[in-house]
Amino acid sequence: ENPVPAIGTTSTYSSDFTTGKDGWALNTQQGAAGSASVSAGKLCVSLTNGGSEAWHAQLVKNGITLEQNNVYRVSFSMQATENRSATFYIGKASDPWNAYGGYSSINLTDQESSLVYSFKKNEATDNAARLVFDLGKSTVGVVISNIKVEPLV
């Protein structure tokens, strides 16, 4: 009988939007445009141009340490101003920009949803991984909070 893995005693990352964007940045390319701000302890993204590809507007948090062979749980709460899709991943912050646990498509509504993803970090330890929400190809805004990356032991 295999026990369910427990959450580690400490988070690898836990968002704190009480005093600012907590290191998150909205990166835009190829004509995409928008801004990120904080309201009521949540990170809010407004887009005036979504660009022509999902990665043209990326909400990114760098500097996440992921150790080889660890299993991680990533969780967050998210909603949109109206129905839209987005993509989430955690991966390498340099070429080849690969996702460690695959790419997860998210369908959002105006109701806040709590989302959870787990993955095993098979690649070598990365002390500078990034969390990414690809938000391009749309001008529908999103609100994100309670972002956590936790090792499962």
Alpha carbon distance, N-terminus to C-terminus of the chain: 16
Rounded (5°) CA angle 24-25-27: 150
Q: What is the pLDDT of residues 107-122, one digit of tens each?
A: 999 999 999 999 999 9
pLDDT of 11: 79
> Model-level pTM?
0.91
pLDDT of 3: 53
Q: CA-to-CA distance for 127 and 112, rounded, in angstroms?
A: 31
- As a whole number, mean pLDDT of residues 111-140 equals 96
Q: CA-to-CA distance for 143 and 80, rounded, in angstroms?
A: 6
Nearest CA to 90 out of 107, 106, 73, 77 is that of 73
Q: What are phi and psi of 46, to 5 degrees?
A: -110, 135
Work out the percent of the chain whose per-residue pLDDT is above 70. 93
- As a whole number, mean pLDDT of residues 53-58 equals 97
State the pLDDT confidence band at 4, using cuts at 50, 70 and 90.
low
Work out the percent of the chain whose per-residue pLDDT is above 90. 92
Q: CA-to-CA distance for 31 and 21, rounded, in angstroms?
A: 23
